[in-house]
Amino acid sequence: MRIAVIGTGYVGLVSGACFSEFGVSVTCVDTDRAKIARLQRGEMPIYEPGLDELVAANTNAGRLSFTSELAPAIEGADAVFIAVGTPSRRGDGHADLSYVFAAAEEVGRALAETRADGYTVVVTKSTVPVGTGREVASILRRVCRRERFDVASNPEFLREGSAIEDFMHPDRVVIGAESDRAQTVMRQLYRPLYLIETPMMFTDIETAELIKYAANAFLATKITFINEIADLCEKVGADVQDVAKGIGLDGRIGRKFLHAGPGFGGSCFPKDCRALVRTAREARANLSIVERVVQVNDARKARMAEKIIAACGGSVAGKTIAVLGLTFKPNTDDMRDAPSLEILPRLTAAGATVRAFDPEGMGEAEKLLPEIVYCGEAYETMKSADVLVLLTEWNEFRALDLARIGQLLAEPLVIDLRNIYQPAEMAAAGLSYVSIGRPPYLGRAGAPASI
Ligand SMILES: NC(=O)c1ccc[n+]([C@@H]2O[C@H](COP(=O)([O-])OP(=O)(O)OC[C@H]3O[C@@H](n4cnc5c(N)ncnc54)[C@H](O)[C@@H]3O)[C@@H](O)[C@H]2O)c1
């Protein structure tokens, strides 16, 4: 089979590489010529574990190629996947569909030029609001004969940081396709997953589109729920780690997405929750839970700066704060909507100097947070710093030398917004320790009024 993937970002590039691994001939297309040139040289434009090896193997095998020319890429393709960005539209939170519609127009024009007997399934893999598939179909119909294509929705559930594993072993594949012909093409493409008994769900297009938003909104709600429980734990002296474990062991609840932290970020949850709220408002449906999740999460990220300032005794003016981790989660270089973008400018505005290190995110962070001093590794970050803030739970921050931290920091206080460490081990190492939803250990400093 032959496919084209439009957009070689986190989703398009991973999907294209994984389909080529399935034995499909894949051409990845992007309007960003610099990105395509890098991919043609074998350089990855993003950090995703295992991606460079997968791309290299399939490029060398002749199954995967990269181009900025859309028309030749879709000539004779069984399916074209649209995997371009759908960021929040400025002002109203609706998904900005301009990239999707621009791609659909280009695809339509190119399909109209291809073989008269050709047939291609045009698949939206981007996360798009309910109704977008129908709009894509009407854009295509304006330029291309009806029998030349079908439209399908195939939302993607991969997570950055484990994207290849997620694509190769998903919990399910959701396909919104309404003609037998389109369903057959999609079934053939995903045959390797069908063979390993991955549940395949065929629905209408609207349902497939909504499944993606409902999934993300539910996960965002779960995180926000445990974050609010963490706040309650701090007030009443309970331990949120144990509360999360205690409820998560209940099979009806499940343990995943119950890690209290600084609030969710990333390229999907914030914008997808906002877009779902917009969809509900336009449909005059009540989605007050998700509306509240967005508000609570936004406020939480801002409040984390206050928590750090309170832990530092009420002021960070003139202090130097070492920060480990800038990306919204580990194993990615993605800085979109990362909590660091909300928290760190507030600390510098309050008079602190921030020194930071992230294993993969600093290239992007330097553009977004120019006021930060960037360091080459974890311990260098702590040199001449007063306190340490752990902001992203990269594995390399999970086993830091606590004695060395104590020697490097002036105070020495560790504020752990990801609950990587145990309060008892920090106390044993002589470090004051403030985390999320657990009683603080304040060593020599004594208990502050409120953290
Ligand atoms: N990032 C994730 O973890 C994730 C997971 C699931 C779903 N999604 C969804 O997948 C979609 C893509 O997300 P992403 O993170 O990969 O985006 P991204 O911003 O990393 O990549 C989008 C790419 O599309 C290219 N592009 C834009 N218009 C184009 C056009 N007309 N023709 C060709 N290329 C074009 C851009 O140059 C860019 O390289 C979004 O809708 C997102 O919500 C993302």
Ligand 1 site-directed mutation target among 30, 158, 336, most atoms within 8 Å of CB:
30
Is residue 447 predicted with pLDDT exceeding 70? no
Is residue 359 predicted with pLDDT exceeding 50? yes
How far is residue 255 from each of residues 25, 115, 230, 325, measured CA to CA in Å?
39, 52, 15, 24
Is residue 91 predicted with pLDDT exceeding 90? no
The residue nearest atom 7 of ligand 1, judged by CA position, is 156
Average pLDDT over residues 371-382: 98
- As a whole number of angstroms, the distance between CA 17 and CA 217 comes to 28
Query: pLDDT grade, residue 451 (50/70/90)?
Result: low
Q: In angstroms, what is the span from residue 204 Cα to ligand 1's centroid?
A: 23
How many CB atoms are located within 10 Å of the residue 72 CB?
13
Kindly state the DSSP code that residue 397 receives in the 8-state scheme: G
Vertex 366: Cα angle to 362 and 369 (nearest 5)? 115
Average pLDDT, rounded, for the chain: 96
Site residues for ligand 1, CB cut-off 6 Å: 6-12, 29-32, 35, 83-86, 99, 102-103, 126-127, 156, 158, 160, 267-268
- Contact partners, residue 106, CB within 8 Å, separation at least 6: 6, 70
Average pLDDT over residues 87-114: 94
The residue nearest atom 13 of ligand 1, judged by CA position, is 85
For the stretch 39-53, pLDDT in tens is 999 999 999 999 999
* Residue 145: predicted pLDDT: 87
Q: In angstroms, what is the span from residue 86 Cα to ligand 1's centroid?
A: 7
The residue nearest atom 35 of ligand 1, judged by CA position, is 7
Neighbour order of strands in the sheet with 432-434:
373-374, 353-357, 320-324, 387-390, 413-416, 432-434
Which class for 250: exposed (0-12), middle (13-18), buried (19 or more C-beta within 10 A)?
exposed
Q: Determine what percent of the chain is predicted with pLDDT higher than 70.
A: 98
Contact 91, 100 (CB under 8 A): no
- As a whole number of angstroms, the distance between CA 125 and CA 43 comes to 24
Candidates 337, 318, 338; CA nearest to 393 is: 338
Q: What is the pTM of this model?
A: 0.96
Average pLDDT over residues 12-31: 98
Assess whether 268 carries a catalytic annotation.
yes
Q: Residue 355: which H helix or E strand, with range?
A: strand 353-357
Average pLDDT over residues 363-388: 97
- β-strands 200-203, 149-153: how paired? unpaired
412 prior amide bond cis, ω within 30: yes
* Residue with token string 């190629």: 65
Query: pLDDT grade, residue 449 (50/70/90)?
Result: very low
* Annotated active-site residue in 18, 28, 268, 312: 268
Kindly state the DSSP code that residue 4 receives in the 8-state scheme: E
- As a whole number of angstroms, the distance between CA 287 and CA 56 comes to 45
Q: Which atom of ligand 1 is nearest to the CA of 6?
A: 33
Which tokens sit at 371?
């006021």
Contact 308, 346 (CB under 8 A): no
Query: pLDDT grade, residue 441 (50/70/90)?
Result: confident
Q: In angstroms, what is the span from residue 85 Cα to ligand 1's centroid?
A: 3
Q: In angstroms, what is the span from residue 333 Cα to ligand 1's centroid?
A: 15
- As a whole number of angstroms, the distance between CA 135 and CA 147 comes to 17
* Residue 115: predicted pLDDT: 72
